[in-house]
Every structure is written in C-alpha cells, then in structure tokens.
Amino acid sequence: MLKFLLFPFAALWAIFMRIRRYFYNKGHRKTCEKPAICVGNLCMGGSGKTPHVEYLINLLKKNQFNIAMLSRGYGRKTKGFRFVDASSSSKSVGDEPLLLYKKHVDISVAVCVNRVEGMNKILEQKPETDVILLDDAYQYMPLRAGLSILLSDYYNRYTEDFVVPAGNLREGRSATKDADIIIITKSPKTIPTIEERIILDKIHPLPHQKVYFSYMEFGNITPLTSKAEKLPIDSIKSIVSVCGIANPYPFLEYMNHRFQEKQQIVFSDHHRFTKKDIEKIDKYFSRSVQKNCAVITTEKDAMRLLDSEWKKEIETLPIFYIPIEVKFHHKYKEEFEEQILQYVRKNTKNS
C-alpha cells in the first residue's frame, strides 16, 4: 500500500532522471583521453562496488598497467580534490578510498566530487597513468567512461525494484542501456542454469551488453586491535558482530553460520562511531556467557573504527575484521577479464 501511494512521486523522479540522462547523452559529455572504467549501480548502495573495483585493480596490476582510482569520497569532511596518502583518514577521504589505498599503496587513489576535475588533475599530476577506475560514477553524467560496468545484487535486482521513494533505485531501468557490462553480484556459488536464464530474460541485455555473475568470498578473520592479537582465532566461542554498511545481510549471515553464540549491532551505512557506540559494543561484549568472546566487524567499518576519537577505548576490546573478495563463476571469469584487458590495451595504444 505504501509503495502504491508513493508511486506517483517515484514516477516523477524517474521521468526527471530519464530526461536528464537523455539530454546529457545527446549533448556534451566529457570523455577521458586515457581508458576509463566506471563501476556503479542503480540502487542506493550495497551492490559490492568496492570489492569489484579491487578485483579490477588486481587484474590490471597483474597485467602491468599504471592505475588510478577516482572516487567522490562519500562521507568525508573535506572538499575539493586530493590524493589519498599515508596521512589520510576516513574523515578526510572517506572509508572506501582509504581502504583501497591501504591495500594498494602502489596505485594512485584520489577523491573529488567533480569527476571531470578529478580526472584532469590525476592526468596532470600522474601522466604515467594508463587507466582510471571511476568508483560509483554511473549517475555522474558530465563524464562518459569508455567502459561502464553496472552492478546489481542477486537478491535485490533492479528488475524487481522501483525508483525512490517507492523503491530503492536512483533512476529507472531505462538507464541500464548505457552499461557495457552488467554484473549480477553476491550470487550463490552455484546457480541452476534455469535460474540464470530467468534472470537474463528479465534483464533482456542489448546486443552490445555482456552479463556476468559474481559472488563474494570471505577471507581470514584478522586482528584489528592489540588485544585481538593476543586471542587465538580458533579459540573464539562467542562474537559480537558490528557493521555499518549498506547491505549487512551477507556479513551477518556468514557470522551466524560460523559461530554458535552471537550478538549483533547494526548501524547505518558509513556510520561514524561515537563514544556511546563503543560503550554499547563493550556492553554487548561484557554480557557474553562464553570466556573467549570477540568483536568482529567488516573491513570498511574497521577503517572508521581506527579513525574514531575513541581509539583508546577501542583498544581495550578484542576487535577483528573480516575482508571480502569478489569471485566470478568459472564460466564467466575468463571472458570478463579478457573483455576488460582488451578494452584497456586497445585504448592505451590509441591514447
């Protein structure tokens, strides 16, 4: 009933966004003189953009390309263009760019709301750059990427959703026509062939579009605090799961399956931790009946926890984080990687 009541407002927003995209596509959109790959989605977050960007980073690094990653730096307290460096914090550049920089110090990571300005400054200050990865830039119309990748969560596909406020889409499904690649993310490791066909029929890709399926794999639980380093992971009997991400379900589900005694605290996406939050986490931790209890969070939340003003209080808790990694189903992996490398190689020669 609520969706029905909100549908007229959603329809108006969808029309506005469709007209906006149409006039930008018909008018002048800045293109990059170097290969540029956009990774984005239609929904309001939670499709796995950061791990897919990291997948591209690893692929391109392995093939000896000089990479720059440009993000708006969502949630940062600063303005304008800046490179991420060793002195950066999640408050100055955002948690996702900081996370990628810490894991890949050999690439250029920059933030700028104006992607055209950001792209120009990267090429001006880092002329050796071969390829630019544009994180969450599918709705940034002034800039046209050479290759656009659109992500859609397997369990929350855009084909089954509505435009805000009736649903969770930033714009209507007609915007998918600008994508070169559509990736169905967070899918099961094994998908029945009939299920793939049903999804492909609903997406109805255009002749120039390729559709791939990927899934998330959790890595090793890693100590974040000094107290966590003293607690053997195999001895953990009870956990407090803490997260502030757009779609916490996969993380919480994995924790629920792995540990018998569990508690969970869920915050909003990109949540900034306060002293009251740390006290709440400590309260949950203290009421565990098991001896070896630990706090486990996501890799992105770990960036914000370390940057909080309450680092001293955080260090009193055994806090761990768990990284996630994107994997492509075997039948899609080689074709996807070859499509990316062919695009970059061809346009690197022409740039």
What confidence tens digit (pLDDT) does each residue in 299-341 have? 999 999 988 888 889 999 999 999 999 999 999 999 999 999 9
What was the pLDDT predicted at 350? Answer: 60
299-306 vs 95-103: helix crossing angle, rounded to 10: 100
Nearest Cα residue to 343 out of 132, 185, 140:
132
User: Does residue 1 surpass a pLDDT of 70?
Assistant: no
Band of the pLDDT at 351, cuts 50, 70, 90?
low
Q: What is the DSSP letter of 141?
A: T
What was the pLDDT predicted at 311? Answer: 85
- Give the pLDDT mean for 254-265: 92
Residues 93/76, Cβ–Cβ less than 8 Å: yes
Q: Please tell me which residue, 292 or 210, carries the higher pLDDT value.
A: 210
What was the pLDDT predicted at 307? Answer: 83
Q: Where does 2-65+130-217+327-350 sit in CATH, by number?
A: 3.40.50
3-class secondary-structure state, position 45: coil
User: Does residue 57 surpass a pLDDT of 80?
Assistant: yes
User: Does residue 32 surpass a pLDDT of 80?
Assistant: yes
- Distance CA(182)–CA(54), nearest Å, equals 17
What was the pLDDT predicted at 75? Answer: 85
User: Does residue 268 surpass a pLDDT of 80?
Assistant: yes
What confidence tens digit (pLDDT) does each residue in 194-248 have? 999 999 999 999 999 999 999 999 999 999 999 999 999 999 989 999 999 988 8
- Distance CA(56)–CA(98), nearest Å, equals 17
Q: Residue 308: CB partners within 8 Å, gap ≥ 6?
A: 272, 273, 274, 278, 314
Q: What is the DSSP letter of 43?
A: B
End-to-end CA distance of the chain: 53
